[in-house]
């Protein structure tokens, strides 16, 4: 079992210690998220969802307005920003101190969310591949940057699952991008292996089995497997029935060094962290 090493990120002038794994609750401002129960489109539901995340022990809110499901609709930047502006305004009014991450691959959207709505973290599913201004925007804003591995776009990613050397290519992807970001002065980088993005079910499990190897980067690692197809397709169920599998994979991820769990079900993830923490007390 892996013991977490001290890792910190600076969010709006405050240090967050990620050697104690944090739980990031998902807030989808979309009408077409793959998990229907996570879709939030009214002020009342937005407030209720954020309150639920906080009450259940979540310490970060990941707000997204663009569905990255394989058959999701490709909306414009204006529509994405309009959805985000509405949701972020509600959150800021009722929860002014909450740590917010914005889930977007568009640099201009990310910049507006940080500058106009005080968002503290940028979560980019494309690792800068879909907007060549993203890295310079992150460097200018000096906010923590979650960089995910993906090939293609959300609409085409499952056509890009062939790799000559699967793990080597993913590690090279992160090595090249982290080097570039460091050279640009970005201090807080979080790696997301991208479970479910341009990967087969088998590749997802191969990646999970080697998750501890990401420690070579000495950077925090975020795992987002919540109710994904790597669980329900393998088990022959549905996203609605994938909570037990999600908790199992989150627990394995913690044992292999995950620092942030991005989840729909906060209570269960927080409990997994507490149980994992109890076991680490008795490591030799």
User: Of the residues 83, 227, 228, 256, which is catalytic?
Assistant: 228
For the question of residue 228 being annotated catalytic, the response is yes
User: Of the residues 7, 49, 112, 262, which is catalytic?
Assistant: 262
Three-state secondary structure readout of 203-233: HHHHHHHCHHHHHHHCCCEEECCCCCHHHHH
Burial class from Cβ neighbours inside 10 Å (0-12, 13-18, 19+) for residue 12 reads middle
Joined tokens for residue 101:
């991450």
Instruction: Give me the DSSP letters along 90-147.
Output: HHHHH-TT--EEEE-S-HHHHHHHHHHH---EEEETTTTSS-TTHHHHHHHHT--EEE
CA distances to 88, 110, 156, 178, 182 from 166, in Å: 37, 30, 18, 19, 25
For the question of residue 168 being annotated catalytic, the response is no
Q: Is residue 148 classed as helix, strand or coil in its secondary structure?
A: strand
Catalytic site positions: 228, 262
């Amino acid at each position: 079992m892996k013991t977490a090493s001290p890792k910190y990120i600076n969010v709006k002038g405050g240090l967050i210690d990620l050697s104690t794994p944090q739980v990031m609750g998902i807030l989808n401002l979309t009408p077409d998220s793959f998990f229907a129960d996570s879709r939030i489109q009214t002020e009342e539901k937005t407030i209720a969802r954020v309150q639920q995340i906080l009450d259940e022990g979540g310490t970060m809110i990941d707000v997204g307005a663009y569905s990255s499901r394989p058959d999701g609709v490709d909306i414009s930047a204006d529509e994405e920003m309009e959805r985000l502006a509405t949701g972020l305004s509600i959150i800021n009014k009722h929860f002014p101190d909450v740590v917010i991450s914005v889930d977007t691959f568009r640099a201009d959207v990310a910049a507006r969310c940080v500058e106009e709505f005080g968002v503290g973290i940028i979560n980019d599913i494309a690792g800068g591949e879909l907007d060549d201004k993203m890295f310079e925007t992150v460097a200018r804003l000096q906010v923590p940057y979650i960089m995910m591995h993906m090939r293609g776009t959300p609409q085409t990613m499952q056509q890009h699952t062939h790799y000559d050397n699967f793990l080597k290519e993913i590690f090279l992807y992160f090595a090249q991008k982290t080097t570039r970001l460091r050279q640009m002065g970005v201090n807080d980088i979080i790696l997301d292996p991208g479970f479910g993005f341009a990967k087969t079910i088998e590749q997802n499990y191969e990646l999970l089995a080697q998750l501890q190897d990401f420690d070579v980067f000495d950077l925090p690692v975020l795992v987002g497997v919540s109710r994904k197809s790597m669980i329900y397709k393998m088990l022959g169920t549905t996203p609605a029935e994938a909570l037990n599998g999600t908790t199992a994979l989150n627990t394995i991820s913690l044992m292999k060094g995950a620092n942030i769990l991005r989840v729909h079900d906060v209570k269960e993830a927080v409990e997994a962290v507490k149980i994992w923490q109890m076991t680490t007390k008795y490591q030799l």
